[in-house]
């Protein structure tokens, strides 16, 4: 790893992102945590943006251990497919569910129900499974789920609240998939994209049995002004499940692992890392104001991190959409940050979604150097106006500052790094 002084701002920020992404992949992580082989079949089921990569890595480890070929099915986002030998991979829509995800979920549920007491069911879950495994509860249609999901995405509700509602509308989430697989032996492998790494919140916990709470789901919808028909409210109340056991849970990758890897890379480049945490939530532009003030203080006074240093953070911010522009929460965060620190000597930053897709755009996020405000003015761009219009994508695209990784086939939430040197 070269010293930071040998790299420009983009080179340093890109190296930090690369380190974080490498730590988030499932490759090689199954070797030390494989279950005992079953007398019967090994059935692999799962969903999420990392599901295909997880399936390929599990297959490799399972066969290398001398076990027979697995079978099964996982669903991932369009464009996130990975070659596998034995486990079928299908693609569906995210973040708004579609018919392909519904069909895949029906097949996954049927495979789970077909497992017997001598079989092993291996569940592979990662962020995105909640939308990809969209099998509506009785009395709820796919169109209902799509409309409610769109409203949630625009409401500013945190991911935990959104997933609580999604569970209440699902025939497969909140432990319902694990219940279907009983009495087979089960194990769940997870890649976490949620603050705190709560297994029940990752993909809305299809294999993590928990007692359902219809009242809390209805309260969330009311809090964020999302109106539903009485029949949907009745369906939510009827879609109950009891808490139970779904087998062992193994965490393969987490936001903290990604931040720790980036911190180690920073040290290797001669930078002092300050990790603020992996569970930072809130409105993207408000989080940016706080972190921006911290960066300016560090630049001026060497606290809370000394120069040259880097402020690292993860979590998942939200955006309350008021404008008509383009861009996800990372572009929004970074544009707001630029309005706070842009032009400050030695301050540069990057913000990306680790799945490679910021919201519904084709970029993972964006980055900027200390010259960002001067460059914007020269191009006739008004950062404040773009922010008011929720147009972070348009702003950074015009300046050639988008970060485009393509699908990473993993997902450990957002990665943010503010360089101060």
- Residue by residue, DSSP assigns 255-290 as HHHHHHHHHHHHHHTT-EEEE--S-EEEEHHHHHHH
Residue 139 belongs to a domain: yes
**Whether residue 284 is found in the same domain as residue 182:** no
In a domain, 185, yes or no: yes
Residues 350 and 402 in one domain: yes
Q: Which of 368, 358, 417, 367 is nearest to 390 (CA)?
A: 358
CB atoms within 10 A of CB 150: 13
Q: Which of the four pLDDT bands, split at 50, 70 and 90, describes residue 194?
A: confident
Output the CA–CA distances (angstroms, integers) from residue 1 to 18, 271, 311, 367, in the order listed.
12, 12, 19, 21
State whether 414 and 313 are in the same domain: yes
Using DSSP, state whether 103 is helix, strand or coil.
Answer: helix
Instruction: Yes or no: say if 132 and 48 are a contact pair by the CB < 8 Å rule.
Output: yes
Q: In this structure, are residues 140 and 89 in contact, taking their beta carbons and an 8 Å threshold?
A: no
Q: Are residues 377 and 307 in the same domain?
A: yes
> Which comes out higher in pLDDT, residue 96 or 395?
395
Residues 220 and 262 in one domain: no
The tens digit of pLDDT for each residue in 10-25 reads 999 999 999 999 999 9
pLDDT of 397 > 80? The answer is yes
> What percent of the chain is predicted at pLDDT more than 70?
99
Residues 204, 313 within the same domain? no
Phi and psi at residue 363, to the nearest 5°: -110, 155
Cα separation, 164 vs 124, in Å, equals 20
Give the pLDDT confidence score for residue 34 in this predicted structure. Answer: 98
Of the candidate ranges 35-49, 192-206, 266-280, the one whose mean pLDDT is the lowest: 192-206
Sign of CA dihedral 28, 34, 40, 43: negative
pLDDT (average), residues 58-67: 98
**Domains contained in the chain, number:** 2
- Residues 109-122 have a mean pLDDT of 97
Residue 235 domain boundaries: 36-247
Residue after which a domain boundary falls, among 186, 221, 247: 247
Helical segments of 195-271, H only: 214-223, 230-238, 255-268
Query: How many Cα atoms within 13 Å fall on the side-chain side of residue 362?
Result: 2
Contact between 401 and 364 (Cβ < 8 Å): no
408 and 378 assigned to the same domain:
yes
- Reading the block at residue 65, the tokens are 């251990």
Mean pLDDT of 299-327: 95
CATH of residue 159: 3.40.50.10180
Q: Is 173 inside a domain boundary?
A: yes
Whether the predicted pLDDT of 95 surpasses 90: no
pLDDT for 240 equals 81
Q: What is the pLDDT of residue 343?
A: 85
Residue 368 lies in a domain: yes
Instruction: Tell me the C-alpha distance between 237 and 258, whole Å.
Output: 39
> 172 falls in which pLDDT band (50, 70, 90)?
very high
Tell me whether residue 27 is in a domain.
no
- Rounded to two decimals, the pTM is 0.89
3-class DSSP string for 108-166: HHHHHHCCCCCCEEEEEEECCHHHHCCCECCCCCHHHHHHHHHHHHHHCCCHHHHHHHH
Dist CA 27 CA 30 (whole Å): 8
Tell me: pLDDT of 245 over 70: no
Q: Is 98 inside any structural domain?
A: yes
Q: How far apart are CA 383 and CA 391, in angstroms?
A: 9
Do 166 and 119 have their domain in common? yes
The predicted-structure confidence for 216-233, as pLDDT tens digits, reads as follows: 999 999 999 999 999 999
Q: Are residues 382 and 235 in the same domain?
A: no
Q: Is there a single domain that holds both residue 335 and residue 409? A: yes
Q: Average pLDDT, whole number, for the chain?
A: 95
Comparing C-alpha atoms, which of 128, 131, 32 is closest to residue 80?
128
Q: Does residue 199 form part of some domain?
A: yes
100 located within any domain:
yes
How far is residue 373 CA from its own chain's centroid? 30
CB 201, CB 164: distance < 8 Å:
no
- Interval 267-275 mean pLDDT: 98
Residues 269, 357, single domain; the answer is yes
17 and 40, same domain (yes or no):
no
Q: Which of 200, 218, 247 is the last residue of a domain?
A: 247
Domain boundary residue, one of 247, 271, 301:
247
In this predicted structure, what is the pLDDT of residue 204?
Answer: 87
User: Which region holds residue 310: left if phi is over 0, alpha if psi is between -120 and 50, else beta?
Assistant: beta
CATH number at residue 358: 3.40.1480.10
């Amino acid at each position: 790893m070269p010293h930071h002084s040998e790299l420009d701002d983009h080179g340093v920020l890109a190296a930090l992102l690369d380190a974080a992404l490498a730590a988030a992949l499932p490759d090689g992580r199954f070797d030390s945590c494989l279950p005992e082989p079953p007398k019967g079949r090994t059935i692999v089921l799962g969903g999420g943006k990392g599901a295909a990569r997880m399936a390929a890595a599990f297959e490799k480890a399972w066969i290398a251990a001398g076990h027979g070929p697995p079978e099964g099915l996982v669903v991932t986002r369009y464009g996130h497919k990975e070659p596998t030998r034995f486990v079928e991979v299908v693609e569906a829509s995210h973040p708004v569910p579609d018919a392909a995800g519904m069909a895949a979920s029906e097949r996954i549920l049927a495979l789970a129900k077909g497992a017997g007491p001598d079989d092993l069911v291996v569940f592979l879950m990662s962020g995105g499974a909640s939308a990809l495994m969209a099998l509506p509860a009785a009395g709820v249609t796919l169109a209902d789920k799509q409309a409610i999901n769109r409203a949630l995405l625009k409401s500013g509700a945190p991911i935990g609240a959104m997933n609580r509602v999604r569970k209440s509308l699902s025939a497969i989430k909140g432990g319902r998939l694990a219940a279907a697989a009983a009495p087979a032996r089960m194990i769940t492998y997870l890649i976490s994209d949620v603050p705190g790494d709560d297994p029940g919140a990752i993909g809305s916990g299809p294999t993590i049995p928990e007692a359902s709470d219809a009242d809390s789901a209805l309260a969330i919808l009311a809090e964020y002004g999302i109106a539903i028909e009485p029949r949907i409210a009745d369906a939510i109340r009827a879609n109950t499940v009891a808490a139970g056991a779904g087998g062992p849970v193994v965490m393969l990758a987490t936001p903290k692992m990604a931040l720790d890897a980036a911190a180690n890379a920073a040290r290797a480049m001669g930078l002092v890392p300050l990790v603020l945490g992996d569970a930072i939530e809130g409105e993207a532009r408000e989080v940016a104001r706080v972190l921006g003030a911290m960066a300016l203080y560090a630049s001026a006074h060497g606290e809370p991190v000394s120069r040259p240093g880097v402020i690292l953070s993860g979590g998942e911010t939200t955006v309350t959409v008021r404008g008509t522009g383009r861009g996800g929460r990372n572009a929004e965060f970074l544009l707001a940050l630029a309005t706070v620190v842009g032009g400050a000597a030695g301050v540069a930053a990057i913000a990306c979604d680790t799945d490679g897709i910021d919201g519904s755009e084709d970029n993972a996020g964006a980055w900027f150097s200390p010259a960002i405000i001067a460059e914007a003015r020269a191009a006739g761009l008004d950062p404040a106006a773009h922010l008011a219009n929720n147009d972070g994508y348009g702003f950074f695209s015009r300046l050639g500052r988008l970060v485009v990784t393509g699908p990473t086939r993993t997902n450990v939430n957002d990665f943010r790094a503010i360089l101060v040197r």
